[in-house]
A = this chain, B = another copy of it.
Amino acid sequence: MQTIEQTFQVQYSYAVYFTQHLFSLSNPLLQQFFEKTNTETGFQRKALVVVDEGFSEHHPELGRELSQYFATLIPHIQLAPEIITVPGGEACKNDVAQFDKLVKAVDVFGIDRHSFVIGIGGGALLDLVGYAAAVSHRGIKLIRIPTTVLSQNDSGVGVKNSINYKGKKNFLGTFAPPVAVFNDLTFLRSLDDRDWRSGIAEAIKVALIKDAAFFEWIEEHTAALAGRDEEAMAYLIHRCAEMHTDHIAGGDPFEFGSSRPLDFGHWAAHKLEYLTNFEVRHGEAVAIGIALDCVYASKINMLPEAGLQRILDVLARLGFELYHPRLSENDKINLRNGIQEFREHLGGQLTIMLLEKIGKGVEVHELDTEVIAQAVDYLETLPQLTESRILH
């Protein structure tokens, strides 16, 4: 019998909108989105909203605003009678009861594949909500409303979702694009300074490996960004989101091959997050990871010294710490093990992005653990230097 060769393509499209006061009655963006997608007749479309607990506490008016917006402007979409709240941060991805709660809500409120799940929160919450939506009825339409810098410029605009499984980060997940992302700049006002800053690390990461001009822009706007200037932040998020979505569309969106996502500075970051029980936030760890890999690249004469100093300078002036004592513990063995773990994570072949110059990353397949240790020593002696630099 002849072999059947099956081939087909699946097309994905979604928009990332940038706005302010998304749920204000004078903002028609969300209404227009639902109008535009209302192409099938005969179905009662519903929406289930899941909100980050912390965000909800900072925005006590959210529930009322949502009800009012839907009742007034989108009466044809039936809002589920209950808004589900979930603890934000990594905790929600560790607790399978949170996943169960969402799946149960999908069932109880009759959210079907013509309906929507709307996640409002940071990256971890959006990962959880995206996963629950992706596997319920084999995929309910997902709308992401990211409320942190990190989720607005990076994870929230991408195609991944996940939960942790018995301590294994992102062990369960799927590739499932949203149907829309709404980035509301005003939602960032309730962030504390650490979370505001953290998200900038991903922008620096992508600028360093892909876009020197963007890095120069960041360099010129460190004071504005550190001072919580919203206009500067709006530009940073937009440019970073744009580069992130371009990278996805231009490459291997669902990572079928061995291509890697944009994870410059991430091998040490992952290890450091783990070593500090996630007390160091992701963006803070990425800033240290970037610094470490840039010092490394400089030590092997790949990245010129002048470039290294500009990078460390930008990170320090944004307020990032560039060293953490856990990096040196146990004679740096924990950190060196991070290389081995990253190799396993990649399936046996190590691929690490390093910098050749600002704006150009190159992949290498080996790191010298002795040079890593020297790079850690370099960062340990650095704080005084950067302190003086900030004063200049």
Q: Verify B10–A171 contact, CB threshold 8 A.
A: no
Q: Chain B interface: which of A80-88, A172-180, A219-227, A295-303?
A: A172-180
In the complex, what residue of chain B is closest to A252 when comparing beta carbons? B10
Closest chain-B Cβ to A64's Cβ sits at a distance in Å of 27
- Using CB atoms, name the residue of chain B closest to A7: B13
By a CB distance below 8 angstroms, the chain B residues around A12 are: 6-10
* Contacting residue for A107 out of B18, B166, B235, CB 8 A: B166
Cβ contacts under 8 Å, A74 to chain B? none
Is residue A155 within 8 Å, beta carbon to beta carbon, of the partner chain? no
Asked whether A174 lies within 8 Å of B138 as measured between CB atoms, the reply is yes
Chain B residues, CB < 8 A from A248:
6, 8
* Interchain CB contact under 8 A, B138 and A257: no
Is A60 an interface residue, CB under 8 A from the partner?
Answer: no
Partner of A135, one of B2, B9, B42, B135: B135
CB distance from A138 to the nearest CB of B (A): 5
A18 CA / B115 CA spacing, docked (Å)? 40
Distance from A10 Cβ to chain B, minimum over Cβ atoms (Å):
5
Contacts of A43 in B (CB 8 A): 258, 347-349
Question: Which A1-55 residues have C-beta < 8 A from chain B?
Answer: 1-18, 40-44
- Tell me which of B5, B157, B177, B255 contacts A113 (CB under 8 A): B255
Chain B residues near A242: list those with CB within 8 A: 4
B165 touches A107 (CB 8 A): yes
The CA of A248 and the CA of B10, in the complex, are separated in Å by 11
Out of B7, B8, B42, name the residue touching A349 (CB < 8 Å): B42
A209 to B168, CA, bound (A): 47
A92-130: contact bitstring with B at CB < 8 Å (1 yes, 0 no)? 000000000001000100101111000000000000000
Interface residues of A in 209-251 (CB under 8 A from B): 234-235, 238, 241-242, 245, 248-249
Given contacts A255-B138, A347-B43, contact A10 B10 (CB under 8 A): yes
Q: How close is A199's CB to chain B, nearest CB, in angstroms?
A: 16
Pairwise interchain contact B16-A135, C-beta atoms closer than 8 A: no
Q: How far is the CA of A245 from the CA of B137 in the complex (A)?
A: 21
A residues 155-201 touching B (CB-CB < 8 Å):
157, 160, 162, 165-166, 168, 170-175, 177
Contact B160 A138 (CB under 8 A): yes
> Is A136 engaged at the interface, CB distance under 8 Å to the other chain?
yes
Give chain A's interface residues, CB within 8 Å of chain B: 1-18, 40-44, 103, 107, 110, 112-115, 131, 134-139, 157, 160, 162, 165-166, 168, 170-175, 177, 234-235, 238, 241-242, 245, 248-249, 253-255, 257-258, 344, 347-349, 365
**List of 6 A-B pairs having minimum Cβ-Cβ separation, nearest first:** A42-B349, A1-B18, A4-B16, A8-B249, A114-B347, A112-B347
Interchain residue pairs with CB less than 8 A apart (18): A1-B235, A2-B18, A2-B238, A4-B15, A8-B249, A9-B9, A10-B10, A40-B258, A41-B349, A103-B165, A107-B165, A107-B171, A112-B348, A113-B347, A114-B348, A131-B135, A137-B173, A139-B174
